[in-house]
Structure 1
Amino acid sequence: MAVASHADHRRGALRVLGTVMVLLLAVSATPAQAAPKPSVKQLKKELAALQKESDALITDYYNGRIAHEKAEKAEKAARDKLAAAQKVLDRESAQLRTIAVAQYMNASPFGATMLTQTPTGADGHLARLALNRHLIDEQGARLSGFARVRDTHRQAQQEAAARSDELGDQVEDLADRKARAEKLIERIRDKIDQLHRAPGVRRSDGTWVPQLPEGADHITPRMRLVKTLIQERFEVPFGIGCYRQIQDGGEHPLGRACDFMLSRGGAMPSAAEVQRGNEIAEWAIKNADRLAVMYIIYRQRIWHARTGAWRTMSDRGGATANHYDHPHISVY
C-alpha cells in the first residue's frame, strides 16, 4: 500500500481550500446584491393602478356622503316631528291638570267668576252636579284624545332615536371611507415623489456635483425641484423665500436654499402651521437621498443628511432667526 507524500497532502488541502473559497464567494454574492430600483415605467404602471383604485374609493366615499346627507335630513325631520308631538303632549297634559283641579274644587276651569255666580241652595246643588258631570265628560274625552297624543309622542321618540342611531352609524362609516381614501391618496403622492430624482451628477460616494443657479429666481435645478414639489404638496400659503444676495455663509446666495414660511412679520405660527412645517420637514427627510437634500433647519434644530439625526442649535434670538416660523431646506 502506497504512502501519500507531503506534496500530495498539500495539493489536496489546497483543492479543498479552493472549493470552500468558491462556495463562500457564491453564497456571499447573492445577498449583497441590492434590490433593483423601480424604473420610471414600473412606477407609472403602479401609479396607474393606484389611481384606478383611488377612483373607486373616492366614488365609494361620494356615495357615503350622499347616504350621510339623507340620514341627516331624516334625523332632522324626526327631531322636528318629536318637537311638535312634545308641544301637543304638553298642551294636553296641561288641560287635563286644569280639569282635574277644577273637578277637585267642584268649580269651573274658568276661575272664581262662575263660583260666585253659582246659585245657592237646592238649585246651587243641582248646578254643581251638572258642572261635575260636564267636567267628567270633558275629562273622559280629553283622556281618550290624550292616549292618542301620548302614543304619537312615543312613536316620535322611537323614530327620533332610531334616526339618531342611523346618523351615528353613517358618520362612523363615512369617516372610515374617508380615512381609506386619504391613505390611498397618500400612497399616490409617495409614488409620484418617486418619479422625481434630483437632476445633475452624483458621485460614487453619494455626494453631488454642484450646480449653477439659473432662471429668474436664481436657484439651482435641484432646489427648484424640491421647491416645486413642496409647493404642490403642502401649498405654503405664506410664501417661499429662496435666493438672497447677503453673503451669510449659507446656501441662499448660492441658490441652494429655500425658506417655507408659516406666518408673516416674524409672528409665531398657528398650531396648524407648525404641523405643516413638521410635515414639510418629515417629507424632506423621507426624500432626502433621492432629491439631494443636504440639511433642514426647523424650530431651532438642524437635521443633516450626513448624520440622519436632529440636533439642537444655539439661540439666535427671535422666531425667524431660530426658524420657528419656517423650515429651511438646503440641497447639495
Structure 2
Amino acid sequence: MAVASPAVRSYGPARERSGAGLLATALLAGLLAGLLGAAPAHADPKPTVKRLKKELAGLQKESDKLIAGYYSSRIAREKAEKAEKAARKKLTAAQKVYDRHSTELRAMAVAQYTGGEPGALTLLSGEREPTALFGRMALARHLVARQDARLRDHARVRDEHRQATGEAAARAKELARTTGDLEERKEKAEKQIERIKDKIDQLHEAPGVRRSDGTWVPQLPEGSDHITPRMRLVRKLIQDRFDVPYGIGCFRAIQDGGEHPLGRACDFMLSRGGAMPSAAELERGDQIAKWAIKNAKRLGIMYVIYRQRIWHATSGTWRTMSDRGGTTANHYDHPHISVY
C-alpha cells in the first residue's frame, strides 16, 4: 500500500491545507511589513479655493444664527435690567415705610409698657364718677383700637416689604442668568467670526515662487506705494482683519539696510508721536504678531519685530534685541513685518 508523503500527512485535508496556506501568507506579509516598514500615510490634499469658499459659506450661515441668538439675548438682558431696577426701587420705598412703621411700633410698645399712651393716665387719674369711668373705658377702647390698627398696618407693610425683597432677589437672579447667557452667546459668536476670518485668510496665497527650502524668490516693488505684491497682500489682510488705528508705513527711501527701501516691510502703528500705546493697542499688536507667525509659511513672511524682540521664520522662535533707545526704535508702538 502506498504511504502518504510527509507533506500530505502534516497538512491533512484540503480545507486544512488552505487555512494553513492563508496563515503562512499572512505571517509572510506581516514579516515583510515589519522589515520594510509601513507605507507612509498620504497627507490630506491642500484645500481648493472652491472647497474653502464652500466651508466659508457654511461658517457664515452658522455665524448669522449665533449673532441672531446674541441679539435676542441682549434684548432679554435689557428687559431683565429694567425689571431689576424697578424691583430695587420698589424695595427701597418699602424699606423706608417698613423702618418708619417699625419705629412707631417700638414707640407704642414702650408707651404701653410704661403706662399707656403719653398723657392718657394723667387725664384719667382721680376720676371716680360713673360718667368719668365710662369715658375712661371708651378712651381705653379707643387706644386698643389704635394699637390694633397700627399692628394691622405694620403687618401689611411687613408683608409688602417681604414681597419686595423676594422680587428684587428674583430679578437680580434673572439678570445674572441673562448676563451669563449673553456672555456665552457673545463668546460663541466671536469664535465663529474668528473662524470665518481664518477661512478668508486661507483663500489667499502669497504670489511668487517659493523655493524647496521654504524661502521665496524676491520680487520687485511696484505701484505707487513701491512695495512688492507679496507685502501688499500681507498689508491688506492685516488692515482688513485688525483695522490698524494709526496708519501703516511701508516704503522708505532711506537706505537703512532693512527691507523698507526694498518694498518688503511695513510698520503697523499703534500710537502716534512715539507714545507708548494703550493696553488695548499693545494687545492688538500681540494679535497682529501672532497672526503673522501663524501665516508666515503660506504668505512668505520672513520675520516679525515687536516689543524689542524678533521672530524669524528660519528659527521659529522669539529672540530679544538690544536696546535701541526709544519706544519706536524698540518697536513697542508697532509690529514690523518683513516678507521674502
Counterpart residue identity of residue 127, structure 2: A
After superposition, the C-alpha distances for 1:184-236 in whole angstroms (9 at most, x for unaligned) are 11111110000011112223332222222222221111111111111111111
Alpha-carbon distance between aligned partners in 2 of 1:268 and 1:70, rounded to the nearest angstrom: 41
Counterpart residue identity of residue 98, structure 1: A
Q: How many residues align?
A: 306
Counterpart residue identity of residue 236, structure 1: V
Deviation at 1:240, TM superposition (A): 1.2
Deviation at 1:120, TM superposition (A): 6.7
Is the counterpart of residue 78 in structure 1 residue 93 in structure 2? no
| Alignment correspondent of 1:252 | 260
Alpha-carbon distance between aligned partners in 2 of 1:180 and 1:257, rounded to the nearest angstrom: 35
Counterpart residue identity of residue 257, structure 2: G
Alpha-carbon distance between aligned partners in 1 of 2:165 and 2:313, rounded to the nearest angstrom: 63
Deviation at 1:135, TM superposition (A): 3.3
After superposition, the C-alpha distances for 1:45-98 in whole angstroms (9 at most, x for unaligned) are 000011111111111111111221222122122212212211221222222233
Alpha-carbon distance between aligned partners in 2 of 1:223 and 1:99, rounded to the nearest angstrom: 87
Out of 86, 102, 106, the position equivalent to 1:97 is 106
**Aligned residues of 1:261 and 1:327 also touching (Cα < 8 A):** yes
**Aligned residues of 1:106 and 1:128 also touching (Cα < 8 A):** no
Question: What TM-score comes out, normalization by structure 2 length?
Answer: 0.82
Counterpart residue identity of residue 239, structure 1: G
**Aligned residues of 1:51 and 1:188 also touching (Cα < 8 A):** yes
Q: How does 1:177-188 map to 2 (within 5 A)?
A: 177-188=185-196
Change (3 A) 1:120 1:239: same
**Aligned residues of 1:108 and 1:131 also touching (Cα < 8 A):** no
Change (3 A) 1:204 1:190: same
Question: What TM-score comes out, normalization by structure 1 length?
Answer: 0.84
Deviation at 1:253, TM superposition (A): 0.7
Out of 312, 332, 338, the position equivalent to 1:304 is 312
After superposition, the C-alpha distances for 1:286-331 in whole angstroms (9 at most, x for unaligned) are 0001111010001111101111111111111111111111110001
**Aligned residues of 2:124 and 2:136 also touching (Cα < 8 A):** no
Deviation at 1:129, TM superposition (A): 7.0
| Alignment correspondent of 1:40 | 49
Is the counterpart of residue 54 in structure 1 residue 63 in structure 2? yes
Alpha-carbon distance between aligned partners in 2 of 1:147 and 1:121, rounded to the nearest angstrom: 37
Out of 298, 315, 337, the position equivalent to 1:290 is 298
| Alignment correspondent of 2:177 | 169
| Alignment correspondent of 1:8 | none
3-state DSSP of counterpart to 2:302: strand
Alpha-carbon distance between aligned partners in 1 of 2:143 and 2:247, rounded to the nearest angstrom: 80
Alpha-carbon distance between aligned partners in 2 of 1:120 and 1:46, rounded to the nearest angstrom: 98
Counterpart residue identity of residue 206, structure 2: A
Is the counterpart of residue 226 in structure 1 residue 231 in structure 2? no
- Structure 2: which 5+ residue stretches go unaligned? 1-27
Is the counterpart of residue 63 in structure 1 residue 72 in structure 2? yes
Alpha-carbon distance between aligned partners in 1 of 2:97 and 2:322, rounded to the nearest angstrom: 72
After superposition, the C-alpha distances for 1:15-44 in whole angstroms (9 at most, x for unaligned) are x9xxx69x949x54x42x432110000000
Return 181-190 or 60-69, whichever deviates more.
60-69
Alpha-carbon distance between aligned partners in 1 of 2:108 and 2:140, rounded to the nearest angstrom: 10
**Aligned residues of 1:201 and 1:208 also touching (Cα < 8 A):** yes
Alpha-carbon distance between aligned partners in 1 of 2:43 and 2:179, rounded to the nearest angstrom: 46
Deviation at 1:99, TM superposition (A): 2.7
- Structure 1: which 5+ residue stretches go unaligned? 1-15
Alpha-carbon distance between aligned partners in 2 of 1:263 and 1:130, rounded to the nearest angstrom: 86
After superposition, the C-alpha distances for 1:249-284 in whole angstroms (9 at most, x for unaligned) are 000111111111111111111211111111100000
| Alignment correspondent of 2:127 | 122
Identity of aligned residues (%): 71
Alpha-carbon distance between aligned partners in 2 of 1:317 and 1:129, rounded to the nearest angstrom: 98
Alpha-carbon distance between aligned partners in 2 of 1:300 and 1:307, rounded to the nearest angstrom: 17
Counterpart residue identity of residue 237, structure 1: P
Alignment RMSD: 2.7
